[in-house]
Amino acid sequence: MMDFSAIDLARFQFAFTVSFHIIFPSFTIGLASYLMVLEGLWLATRREVYLQLFKYWLKIFAVAFGMGVVSGIVMTYQFGTNWSVFSDKTGPVLGPLMGYEVLSAFFLEAGFLGIMLFGLNRVGPRLHFMATAMVAFGTALSGFWILSVNSWMQTPAGHAINEAGQFIPENWFEIVFNPSFPYRFVHMMLAAYLTTAFVVGAVGAWHLLKERGNEGAKVMLSMAMWMAALVTPVQIMAGDMHGLNTLEHQPAKIAAMEGHFEGEAGAPLILFGIPDMEAAETHYRVEVPKLGSLILTHSLDGRVPGLKDFPREDWPNATIVFFSFRVMVGIGFLMLGIGMWSLYLRWRGRLADTPLFHRAVLLMGPTGFIAVLAGWITTEVGRQPYTVYGLLRTSDSISPVDAPAVATSLLVFIVVYFIVFGIGTGYILKAMGMRPGGDAQGPQKGEPTRAAGVTPAPAYADEPKPAE
């Protein structure tokens, strides 16, 4: 059996749980906004298809939101058990930020979620729409605070360090809006919207492949492809700006992402290679001369740092960061290609009538999640060996726990996660497989339906109320 230390197991446990967790907020942030748009379009146009799609995706949102909340709570548990030193040192700064997230975003979501899920036929349409909008705003606000916390760990600012080694807040504005926060927040929000768009598009494509004339599937595909065509180029530009910010504040991470061990002017862009940490070089390089400098410094002769510019004990794992970064970027350009293809088909009037395109969109359905995970790995592994970049090492953040204790909780997490989240994911996939609009209309008035001799009166009570 391999011999893992407590810190190895604690890092793996956090990576495992955060990988599960980040999938759900990435989906629900975008899906909450999509639901808000669907309901708004229904109120504005009274087209029944928008209401049907709202009901269709509302059930899926409810399950994904619940799993996101549960998986997030588990992560805070680990701060106390496995990372108590980190919690003690950073608590004066990060504790209030996490508290703001609970008091503002989570309360907003929880306060209006019940109305959103169960109030469509019990409150007026405008009040219900406001509840949906508040849930959408709450999910984005939650992302704001969490990204602020994470960004501060990447580019700490606005603090002092007391005699106990704790980070003490001095300027909350600088803490919240630390140097990397704007770029990281925009990049993550756009990633969430694109992730949702490609899931919605894949579901629409799947149903169009089965039923060419399905109106709900056409609307889903069309809305998703507008998002892909318009937002993906913006995301690529945001990613470029985020990279420039990382070069300024975390140059060792950039060196690992680019696979550069030697710093040089006029650096090439390494498209492919195999970074070798032991030999301190990237083997089998496929590169474009000077393009690395042009992208990172906007100059053909700009200098790009290499890992050898930094102490070896401060190097992140270049192999992991190099490949995860390329997975993220590669998926981004595939999304751009799908978006441009959709514009061409829309111009030809063939968007809903091209099975080859629908199959491609279906294959792209899960890629948003993969890109988010790859981006998260790039960010977090690139921050190593620090929990607070340049100030607090990961090895100095661990709790005084033994490896068997961490291994036991890790094993429990793995078993429970695969059972609970496996069931939840199975339900979501089953719900996505249902025909959009097929079960949303309910019984029609004037055509009473009897079941076992009982008139389903509650069904009539669930009929949508007219607009106020």
Tens of pLDDT, residues 22-35? 888 889 999 999 99
Give the C-alpha separation, 274 to 319, whole Å: 7
The strand pair at 281-288 and 303-304 is best described as: unpaired
Q: What does the domain layout of the chain look like in residue ranges?
A: 1-178+402-436, 197-399
Q: What are the CA-CA distances from residue 211 to residues 47, 319, 341 (Å)?
A: 20, 45, 22
Helices 215-249 and 318-348 pack at an angle, to 10 degrees, of 140
Higher pLDDT, 324 or 422: 324
Higher pLDDT, 209 or 447: 209
Q: What is the mean pLDDT of residues 99-122?
A: 83
Assign 462 a pLDDT band (cuts: 50, 70, 90).
Answer: very low
d(CA 413, CA 157): 34
pTM over 0.85: yes
Local confidence band at 413 (pLDDT 50, 70, 90 cut-offs): confident
In this prediction, what percent of the chain has a pLDDT beyond 90?
60
Task: Answer whether residue 4 shows pLDDT above 70.
Answer: yes
Residue 213: per-residue pLDDT: 86
Q: How many C-beta atoms lie closer than 10 Å to residue 243's C-beta?
A: 20
Weakest-pLDDT range from 87-91, 136-140, 379-383, 442-446: 442-446
Confidence band (pLDDT; 50, 70, 90) for 446? Answer: very low
Q: In terms of Cα–Cα distance, which of 19, 78, 76, 26 is closest to 377?
A: 19
Residue type (1 letter), 155: T
Question: Given a cut of 70, is residue 451 above it in pLDDT?
Answer: no
Q: Are 297 and 291 in contact (CB under 8 A)?
A: no
φ, ψ (nearest 5 deg) of residue 212: -55, -35
Confidence of residue 425 (pLDDT cuts 50, 70, 90): confident
pLDDT digits (tens, 9 = 90+) for 159-171: 999 988 899 999 9
Q: Which of 84-88, 127-131, 187-191, 418-422 has the lowest mean pLDDT?
A: 418-422
What are the structure tokens assigned to 75, written together?
A: 């992560």
* SS3 (DSSP) at 18: helix
287-334 pLDDT tens trace:
999 898 998 888 888 888 999 999 999 999 999 999 999 999 999 999
